[in-house]
Amino acid sequence: MQSSYNVHIKRIVLILFIILVVGLIAKQVLTPDSFGIYGHYRADAIHDEVNREIRHMTNASCEPCHEYESENLATGFHKKLSCEFCHAPNADHAKNGKKIAVMSVTEKKNINALCLRCHNDSLWARPEKIIKTVRMPEHLKDQEVRLNNVCSQCHYVHAPLKYINRPEKAKKMQETSL
Amino acid sequence: MKKKNQTPDLKRRAFMEKILKGTIAGSVFLVIPAGPLICKIPEQIKGIRGNKYEMTSKKFAFIVDITSCIGCGSCCVADKREYNVPDHNYRTWVERYIKDYDDKVYVDSPNGALDGYHGPRKDIKKPIRDTFFVPKLCNMCKEPSCVQVCPVGATFKTPDGFVLIDKKHCVGCGYCIQACPYSARFLNPETNSADKCTWCYHRVRKGLVPACVNACPTGARQFGDLNDKNSNVFKKLNGPGVISVLKKEMGNQPALYYQGLRREVI
């Protein structure tokens, strides 16, 4: 009687021991290497996130190739705009300093919608000190131009007010020469 | 034209040396694996490149200025392009708050402001007293409830204060999506894991500001290090003006601050 009782105890202890060993081995194998370095997570995940591809660069990264546009942008009223918002991310256009695809340029028929994203006066909450807004088509009527004109016909998109007085000047020159 | 910010070769050499030393020392996580192209772009956040990155030495903060947001949605476009976010999911979005004369508040955000706002809302019959825009994104809480509820340790707070997601580890149970008081999280249908704004951690670690901050034309989004006394966020937070956080009573202690926050905003 006594001996068989001992066997039971031994069996239970042995099974528990095996479960413990298998569990420890499984934990060792299944836990990622970097788990728990900083906390209850895989520290390599930080590394993965850091290595994500940067798709948007800055305006400074466009400057080496597009000097004329960059200079106009930096000196005009659109100096705070990001090139990549109106065009497309740098990663779609250049890789390692070399051009890989043509950058998108907004078509004429879509340019009004693009400009009005910011400059639409019919929305409130656009204070005068932050942004100059216009109401369409009243603005076209005020300026006495055709109602199907698009913004970029009068405004140079990279520096919107740089050449705005040219038509007037040309008109005056014409008048004086007559 | 004068070239700006050309890094002298000596500096770059010293920088490379530091990187190599850091790698040998085994501190792989602390070294910036910046490509040669990134190094050419001037640094937007001072003091990240060229030094060994000390995770605990930085205290990043994000300030959204509601008074200068014009609701153009360029931040949302930049964000979608930077991460190729699947349609109808938003890492960041811009809400429009409209208040009528009875103090009734109307909130909308058509397509997360990806296409911008093209006109006033037509369904409101009453005269409108005020309209303003509120950009929303991850609050990077100091006490994140999403991290608390994650059963597998797939979402975590890094030592430098960013709440990130381990996509390989996430099982997509969605507990964190429910736990987030700011609804910043969503289930990415492509990876089947939780996803959210990371404050562009990959850009920040290479000295660039988040894509939305870079794209904002009015400076309504500001990002910087609070431990740097010359940073714009330090000056703003220590200057005059109404600066507050969303849902303060939740006790999550966000690192995202709102300048000019109104009581209507939730």
Tell me the per-residue pLDDT of B220-241, one tens digit each, with 9 for 90 and over.
Answer: 999 999 998 999 999 999 988 8
Report the pLDDT value the prediction gives residue A171, as an integer from 0 to 100: 80
In a domain, residue A22? The reply is no
In a domain, residue A176? The reply is no
In a domain, residue A114? The reply is yes
Pair (A160, A148) in one structural domain: yes
Pair (A66, A120) in one structural domain: no
The architecture of the domain spanning B55-266 is 2-Layer Sandwich (3.30)
- Residue B29 to residue A48, Cβ atoms within 8 A: no
Report the pLDDT value the prediction gives residue B57, as an integer from 0 to 100: 87
- Residue B120 to residue A124, Cβ atoms within 8 A: yes
Segments in chain B below pLDDT 70: 1-39
CA atoms within 13 Å, Cβ hemisphere of B61: 26
Which residues form the domain of A98? 56-105
Pair (A67, A123) in one structural domain: no
Pair (A83, A134) in one structural domain: no
- pTM value > 0.90: no
Q: Select the residue of A39, A51, A126 nearest B33 (Cβ to Cβ).
A: A51
In a domain, residue A94? The reply is yes
- Residue B154 to residue A41, Cβ atoms within 8 A: yes
How many beta-carbon pairs below 8 A join chains A and B? 152
Cβ pair B43, B206 in contact under 8 A: no
Set of chain A residues whose Cβ sits within 8 Å of the Cβ of B214:
56, 58, 82
Q: Select the residue of A55, A124, A131 nearest B82 (Cβ to Cβ).
A: A55
3-state secondary structure of B57: helix
pLDDT band at A128 (very low <50, low <70, confident <90, very high): confident
Is 80 exceeded by the pLDDT of residue A15?
yes
Pair (A111, A166) in one structural domain: yes
Q: How far apart are CA A67 and CA A103, in angstroms?
A: 16
Digit-coded pLDDT (tens) for B118-163: 888 888 889 999 899 999 999 999 999 999 999 999 999 999 999 9
Q: How many domains does chain A have?
A: 2
Pair (A131, A155) in one structural domain: yes
- Residue B203 to residue A54, Cβ atoms within 8 A: yes
Q: Considering chain B, tell me which residue range(s) the CATH 3.30.70.20 domain(s) occupy.
A: 55-266
The percentage of chain A sitting over the pLDDT mark of 70, rounded to a whole number, equals 97
In a domain, residue A23? The reply is no
Residue with the bigger pLDDT between A53 and A175: it is A53
Q: Give the 3-state secondary structure percentages of chain A, helix then strand then coil, rounded to 5.
A: 50, 5, 45
Q: Select the residue of B37, B74, B131 nearest A96 (Cβ to Cβ).
A: B37
| A85 phi-psi bin (left φ>0, alpha ψ -120 to 50, beta other) | alpha
In a domain, residue A159? The reply is yes
Pair (A114, A94) in one structural domain: no
Pair (A128, A160) in one structural domain: yes
Preceding peptide of B210 cis, ω within 30°: no
pLDDT band at A33 (very low <50, low <70, confident <90, very high): confident
